[in-house]
Amino acid sequence: ALFTYIPSKVDIEISGYKVSGHTEVSFQLDNPQFTTVKGIRGRNTRIRSKNSSGVLTLGILQTSPTNDLLSEILKKDLQYGTGRLVIKIKDQSGSSLFFCDEAYIAGFPALSFSDKAGTRTWTINCLTVPLDQLVVGGNYKPVFDLF
């Protein structure tokens, strides 16, 4: 078996713009898809949540022009309310996928300066993520094809 996770092969696109300088990306749904409801006499059941909202966190090198783009998008959204984003993420070295066409930047990240190049951590809220287009996959690739 060959494990092939390569962070630089995670492609991130925001409304047609290919993000450069990303150091990390994560997505978390706001709610679990199922929760347990405790019943009487030890009889429990589960309830499915159809809420598919979540939070995307994007770490961008402070030297990347992507920060300027995200700042402009947020400023225009504050001014005109037009900041709806389409976000696509694909791991080229694995099978993970992410898509959302109802996202917006939550606010400006913390602004810090030091003697080392740092990152800006952007928070993007996703109103609805189509769960059929969310794949939390692996990076396992067989050494040879069986078929």
Q: Write out pLDDT tens, residues 24-64.
A: 889 999 999 999 999 988 899 999 989 999 999 999 999 99
Are 57 and 12 within 8 A, CB to CB? Answer: no
Q: With 80 as the cut, is the pLDDT of residue 144 above it? A: no
Distances (CA, A) of 59 to 25, 52, 85, 88: 6, 22, 17, 16
pTM of the model: 0.83
d(CA 60, CA 31): 26
In this prediction, residues 112-123 reach a mean pLDDT of: 86
> If you average pLDDT over every residue of the chain, what do you get?
87
Q: CA–CA separation, 102 vs 100, rounded Å?
A: 6
State the pairing for strand pair 54-61/119-126: antiparallel
